[in-house]
A = this chain, B = another copy of it.
């Protein structure tokens, strides 16, 4: 087989690929992260690149116009070099590489006196050995731990046994011992550190974004945090595409290395910013949906998407950073939050733990609106959960100008004058480059209640100068090109709105089906907790107005932000939280919506703004 060199600009990076490999394969090989919602199947049109030089063959694709072709714009996944070739990846195709402040997370404070971290420090002062007291160094340390109140058998890592002898002698028989609470095993030992404390890291592995937080294990204080797009996006925007990708040659290993690269990059960034060295990290808790946790551990997720939808595992032993591949001290324990099933994952058990609904008598609706939508209803006695295939619309996936709630994202929209651009707020305060979930909700609400779109989301083109023909559809100019970062109009199209309606309809249908199954009227809900990456400026009123959230008293709502990350942080700090995670995973009943009678009807009925049944939204009819 021949091979060709592919030079990728603006990075001036050259990779060699075999004949019959696509430009998409070449970009993958280069490690440059790009958008590819469909995972390289020619269906999403996100992997556009420009061929600057060289021969190629492109498969015909409806997402590539004759004008595109004339300008050598091609889909990387459908284009095969016929010679050495030079391409340019346009900005819009590149996965943004910004570090972003994670969403405000759940405002859960943990009292210092109740902190019982995953790995606990014991500062020991031991007796010097003598001929009469000549037990081994390790037995001496264990004796010290027992005096300090540790009961039961105590284990020890090999790495610690290796360092113990010189450590004790160089520090006058004083040392700090780090004990993993789960099994009373010593994971590390160090010099007596006085006031300085070790850090834990909490990581939320979202399908779209990865958020990492450094946590002081003794004060419980968050030191610093950052988020990054999950680089697996190059292999598909949602978990189904990721699972499909995992079945390709080396697909699983590639997905694993991409999520590890993403996590390790956030860790590196925070160590740099916080001035706390990597060596200060002693443990990690990771929380992700079932597929993300499988991919992280290179466990084949294949059967998650085949009926009867069985994950390989839902509970994971505590592993070492080395075994997982995290770039923190190799013997650090790594805990993954437990899943309930294939579509209710560790992110949900974690979010529910953070929400505290498992300790409340109040009948609570918990909604995680992320790349998927998960719904939990219950209280301290019982919990029932389902997952809706909402798709990544509210995180920016499948929306032409969509993006996650990060710097440059339009986060709220208000239309004052139908014929002039709306008033916007932009995260970070600069010029906008896209629209995040909270602004999409605002737009749907504003467009509908101003009469620019009808109940079905179709534009009324005659009513506003801001509605334009865009390619084969209609769109509303959210920000004209003069005011955007990239000098192009930011628009929301009928196709985008249709996607958003499907997404909110799926979530609504989930809530509605579950409540009907339980014979609970909406009005009986005592709390509605919303988690997910919608953006900090989520407007509850407008979310109700489009039929995403139920029309109940507004003081029942609480926006939790990234509850999965909060739960991971709690698990770092609290033995009670770790126990609760397990209990929640055991207690939660999973309802498969695809086989639940009535779900499809609920879904179809919800494909209107706010709903075909206006009586469900009494406060909107006024």
Q: Which A positions have Cβ atoms within 8 angstroms of B?
A: 129-131, 133-139, 155-158, 161-162, 164-166, 169, 185, 297-300, 302-303, 307-317, 319, 323, 339, 341-342, 590, 592, 595
Contact = CB atoms under 8 A, between A and B. Distances in A.
Contacts of A307: 131
B164 A313 contact: yes
A161 B129 contact: no
Contacts of A165: 299-300, 302-303, 310, 312
Given A308-B131, A323-B158, A137 B595 contact: no
B136 A317 contact: no
Contacts of A162: 297-300, 312
Given A131-B595, A317-B155, A317-B185, A310 B161 contact: no
A605 B595 CA distance: 90
Contacts of A129: 308, 310
A346 to B, nearest CB: 12
Contact of A297 (B161, B164, B185, B341): B161
Q: In this complex, which of A137, A164, A308, A317 has the most chain B Cβ atoms within 10 angstroms of its Cβ?
A: A317
A83 B136 CA distance: 48
18 contacts: A130-B308, A131-B307, A131-B592, A134-B341, A134-B590, A135-B341, A136-B312, A137-B303, A137-B313, A138-B314, A156-B317, A158-B297, A158-B323, A161-B299, A161-B316, A162-B299, A165-B310, A166-B300
Nearest to A169: B303
A342 B156 CA distance: 19
A184 to B, nearest CB: 11
Given A133-B308, A158-B297, A161-B299, 19 more contacts: A131-B307, A131-B592, A134-B341, A134-B342, A134-B590, A136-B311, A136-B313, A136-B314, A136-B341, A138-B312, A138-B314, A139-B314, A139-B315, A158-B323, A161-B297, A162-B297, A162-B299, A165-B299, A169-B303
A582 to B, nearest CB: 10
Nearest to A595: B131
Q: In this complex, which of A131, A137, A313, A341 has the most chain B Cβ atoms within 10 angstroms of its Cβ?
A: A313
A140 to B, nearest CB: 8
A136 B310 contact: yes
Given A161-B299, A162-B297, A162-B300, A310 B341 contact: no
Contacts of A595: 131
- Of all A-B residue pairs in the complex, the 4 with the closest CB atoms, nearest first, are A138-B313, A136-B314, A165-B312, A131-B308
A129 to B, nearest CB: 5
Nearest to A133: B308
Nearest to A316: B161
Contacts of A302: 165
Contacts of A311: 136-137
A156 B319 CA distance: 10
A43 to B, nearest CB: 27
